[in-house]
Amino acid sequence: MPKRLVGVWISLVCFACLGASEVQEAPGLPFSWSRFTLKNGLEVVLSEDDTLPLVSVVMVYQAGSIREEPGKTGLAFLLENMMFMGSLNVGPMQHIGYVNRVGGEPSASTREDIAYYYQTVPANHLALALWLESDRMKTLEIDAAKAERARQSLLDEIVQRKAAEPYLESLLAFDHLLYPDFAHGHSFLGREEDILRLGVEDVKAFYATYYVPNNAALVVVGDIDMAEVKELVAKYFETIAPGKKPPVFLPPRPPDKKAVVQSFQDALVPSPAFHMGYRMAPPFSRDHYALAILDYLLFKGKSARLYRKLVRKEGLALYVTGGIEKRKDVAVMKLFAVNNNETMVELCQKSIVSEFNKLRTSDISSEELARAKNLFKRDFVLRYASPMERAMLLAEMVFSPAGLDALADQLPKYMRISPYEIRTAASRYLVPESSVILNVKLK
Q: Which of 102, 153, 159 is nearest to 131 (CA)?
A: 102
Q: Which of 72, 75, 53 is nearest to 64 (CA)?
A: 75
Q: Which of 12, 3, 20, 61 is nearest to 398 (CA)?
A: 61
Q: By residue range, what is the domain housing residue 49?
A: 3-237
Report the C-alpha gap between 85 and 94 in whole angstroms: 8
Q: List the pLDDT tens digit at each of the 443 positions of the chain.
A: 443 333 433 343 444 445 544 544 545 689 999 999 999 999 999 999 999 999 999 999 999 999 999 999 999 999 999 999 999 999 999 999 999 999 999 999 999 999 999 999 999 999 999 999 999 999 999 999 999 999 999 999 999 999 999 999 999 999 999 998 999 999 989 999 999 999 999 999 999 999 999 999 999 999 999 999 999 999 999 999 999 999 888 777 777 788 999 999 999 899 999 999 999 999 999 999 999 999 999 999 888 999 999 999 999 999 999 999 999 889 999 999 999 999 999 999 999 999 999 999 999 999 999 999 999 999 999 999 999 999 999 999 999 989 999 999 999 999 999 999 999 999 999 999 999 999 999 98
Same domain as 282, residue 139: no
Same domain as 339, residue 280: yes
Same domain as 281, residue 198: no
Give domain status of residue 252, yes or no.
no
Strand order in the sheet with 260-266: 260-266, 435-442, 273-279, 330-338, 319-327
Q: Where are the alpha helices (DSSP H) in 166-245?
A: 168-178, 182-185, 192-197, 200-210, 226-237
Give one DSSP letter per residue of 246-276, joined into a string: PPP-PPPPPPPS--EEEEEEETT-SS-EEEE
Q: What are phi and psi of 315, to 5 degrees?
A: 65, 30
- Strand blocks (E) in 32-91: 33-37, 43-48, 54-61
Give me the number of domains the chain comprises: 2
Same domain as 82, residue 230: yes
Same domain as 57, residue 191: yes
Same domain as 214, residue 283: no
Same domain as 380, residue 273: yes
Same domain as 291, residue 171: no
Same domain as 364, residue 280: yes
Same domain as 88, residue 54: yes
Same domain as 342, residue 209: no
Same domain as 350, residue 211: no
